[in-house]
């Protein structure tokens, strides 16, 4: 793929390799499933702490797999009415659609929503202005938190929108912080990472860094 980037005549190689990658990705699903089974069967067999959760994982995994592959409750598609299993994977009313709608969706949404509770708790306990840098971080957080809601508009609504001080309105400040400070910081990090990857890759390609082979030399 590296060669295909630099030599136009070999451009097609990159596409071929990308296609292989997708075939490998399909096999990875099977390997992933096999690995999941092996890992959790070992846990159940040796009855390690929390082996009951492994039972739940395996039962959920196998049940979902059977329901999905079996296409229970799914009728053949309108285009191919005589071909069994030609219907879509998870239409409404099908068993797989039910699993998706009433189990997977609420469970994953609940997990994500719980984040708000832990963030609130962490903000109360850990977000302290212990030094000047922490104070700056705190002030930025306040501006963004308030500027992303109507509260920011109300709090600084006394500053006329057309005045020279309009940039001090919280909604404007939050946009300014995101577009200027955040962009500059993130670009610096991205460029730094890219340069680091390039230099590490060169060191490996030129044999300067052999640590990945288990050598103690840098």
* Contacting positions for another protein (CB under 8 A): 14-15, 18-19, 21-22, 25-26, 29, 77, 79-80, 86, 88-90, 97, 100, 104-106, 108-109, 111-113, 116-117, 119-121, 123-125, 127-130, 138, 141-142, 145-146, 148-151, 153, 171, 175, 178-179, 182-183, 186-187, 190
Residue 11 or 66 having the CB closest to another protein: 11
Token couple for 110 = 């609940």
Residue 135 or 165 having the CB closest to another protein: 135
- Alpha carbons within 13 angstroms on the beta-carbon side of residue 93 total 5
Shortest distance, position 186 Cβ to another protein, whole Å: 5
Shortest distance, position 175 Cβ to another protein, whole Å: 6
> Among candidates 213, 205, 194, 190, which has minimal Cα distance to 3?
205
Shortest distance, position 97 Cβ to another protein, whole Å: 8
Question: How many H-runs (helices) and E-runs (strands) does the chain carry?
Answer: 9, 0
Shortest distance, position 88 Cβ to another protein, whole Å: 6
- Helical packing angle, 51-70 and 11-45, nearest 10°: 130
Q: Where do the H-state alpha helices sit in 71-211?
A: 95-99, 105-126, 132-147, 150-155, 170-176, 183-205
């Amino acid at each position: 793929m590296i060669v295909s980037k630099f030599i136009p005549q070999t451009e097609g190689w990159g596409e071929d390799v990308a296609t292989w990658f997708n075939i490998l990705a399909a096999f990875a699903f099977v390997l992933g499933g096999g690995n999941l089974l092996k890992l959790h069967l070992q846990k159940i067999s040796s009855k390690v702490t929390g082996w009951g959760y492994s039972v739940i994982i395996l039962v959920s995994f196998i049940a979902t797999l059977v329901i999905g592959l079996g296409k229970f409750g799914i009728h053949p598609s309108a285009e191919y009415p005589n071909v069994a299993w030609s219907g879509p994977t998870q239409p409404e009313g099908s068993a797989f659609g039910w699993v998706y709608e009433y189990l997977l969706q609420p469970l994953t949404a609940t997990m994500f929503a719980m984040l708000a509770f832990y963030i609130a708790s962490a903000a109360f306990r850990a977000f302290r202005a212990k030094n000047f840098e922490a104070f700056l971080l705190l002030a930025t957080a306040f501006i963004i938190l308030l500027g992303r809601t109507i509260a920011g508009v109300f709090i600084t609504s006394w500053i006329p929108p057309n005045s020279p001080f309009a940039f001090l309105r919280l909604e404007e400040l939050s946009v300014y912080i995101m577009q200027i400070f955040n962009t500059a910081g993130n670009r610096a990090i991205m460029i730094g990472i890219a340069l680091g990857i390039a230099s590490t890759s060169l060191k490996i390609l030129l044999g300067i860094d052999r640590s990945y082979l288990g050598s103690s030399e840098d």
